[in-house]
Structure 1
Amino acid sequence: MDELVERVDAEDRVLGVVSRRDAVREGWLHRIGVVVCRDGQGRYLVHRRAEHLSRFPGHHELAVGGAVGVGESYEGAAARELSEEMGVRATVCLRFTFLNRSGLSPHWLAVCDALLPEAVAPDPREVAWHGWLTEPELRQALGQKTFTPDSREVFDRYLASRAAPATVRNRCP
């Protein structure tokens, strides 16, 4: 059975419940929650998606995440996906949302933040490779490797959100 998501409007208000497959096929707005993970040294967790996945197989990705379920918060979805895909639980902090038009279909994308231990246990059905990259290494990889369509925009917006004054960047450190 396909997962159910909330179809939303251009203001991120719920219109109803639909299958994710229908949302993607019809180009209906829905919600995705992701988390950018860093370690105590400030390195970023990057992974390569498994080859058999239906969405962007074999692509590298900066953020871990997926569809927000019915009644679920962005942060809840990001934390759930982090646990499922990387085998680690962590507190996630919402950084920002934006209307993302890259990828398979348009969607509201919430980008969260999490500080992780270096040791993660990725699910091999989801993740083919993972590693910790410094900011310069990540910038280089974004130019050399095949990443998901929104990875560069997520990274640029993430860096801008971290540089914003504390009143603008919510409660995230």
Structure 2
Amino acid sequence: MDELVERVDDQDRALGVVVSRRQAVRESWLHRVAVTVCRDERGRILVHRRSEELSRFPGFYEVVVGGAVGVGESYEQAAARELAEELGVRVLPRLLFTFLNRSGLSPHWLGVHEAVAPDTVAADPDEVAWHGWLTEPELRSALLEWRFTPDSHEAFSRYLAFRTAHTSPRADPER
């Protein structure tokens, strides 16, 4: 059964039109997707390889865990649901930012979250063929060598830029 999503406009406002995700992708209609960058207590990042049985990007690696935002769901609710479904992790992810992503199969609004997850996850084998925890330097190397989804590249580069902008010391306004 295909997921139902709400169409949105180029400002991420709901249009009041419900369609199947398959149709939204096929017609390039804007809709919402929620993803989460999972870190462990040591700061490593969860990376996984998608199952070969998936219709979208089978066997590709991902830096994010997520999926479509269902009808009536918020980005945060969808991100939490996807973490529970795909990894068996019950945490509340924190929405960092959204952006209009044109790098996947079709354009969509992408809500990027962050969550601290336990080292041990119960990955759904129908979704996840392999997973592991990588340091940022290991992940940077993997992004150059492994076959990652377009969303992973785009979301992770924006995630790193967001973290840099929000953790760097601010200039002294008196200077």
Q: What band does the TM-score fall into relative to the shorter chain?
A: over 0.9
Structure 1 residue ranges (4+ consecutive) displaced by more than 4 angstroms after TM superposition: none
Match of 1:54 in 2: 55
Give a deviation string over 1:123-159, Cα, whole Å, max 9, x none.
Answer: 1111000000000000000000000012112111111
Aligned to 1:149: 150
The aligned residue for residue 6 of structure 2 is: 6
| 2:170 equivalent in structure 1 | none
SS at match of 2:119: coil
SS in 2 for 1:163: helix
Rounded to whole Å, the distance in 1 between the matches of 2:155 and 2:3 is: 24
Gapped runs of 5+ residues in structure 1? 167-173
Q: Which amino acid aligns with 1:14?
A: A
Q: Which moved more, 1:146-155 or 1:106-115?
A: 146-155
- Structure 2: segments with no counterpart, 5+ residues: 168-175
**In 2, distance between residues paired with 1:104 and 1:115?**
28
TM alignment of 1:27-38, pairs within 5 A: 27-38=28-39
> Greater shift after overlay, 4-13 or 150-159?
150-159
For residues 156 and 104 of structure 1, the distance between their equivalents in structure 2, rounded to whole angstroms, comes to 18
Q: Is the 8 A contact 2:103 2:154 kept in 1?
A: no
Kindly state the Cα deviation for residue 71 of structure 1 after the two structures are TM-superposed: 0.5
Which residue of 1 is the match for residue 24 of structure 2?
23
What letter is aligned with 1:112? H
Separation in 2, partners of 1:45, 1:26: 32
Quote the RMSD (CA, aligned, Å).
Answer: 0.9
Larger radius of gyration: 2
- Note the C-alpha offset of 1:164: 2.1
Aligned to 1:132: 133
Identical positions, percent: 72
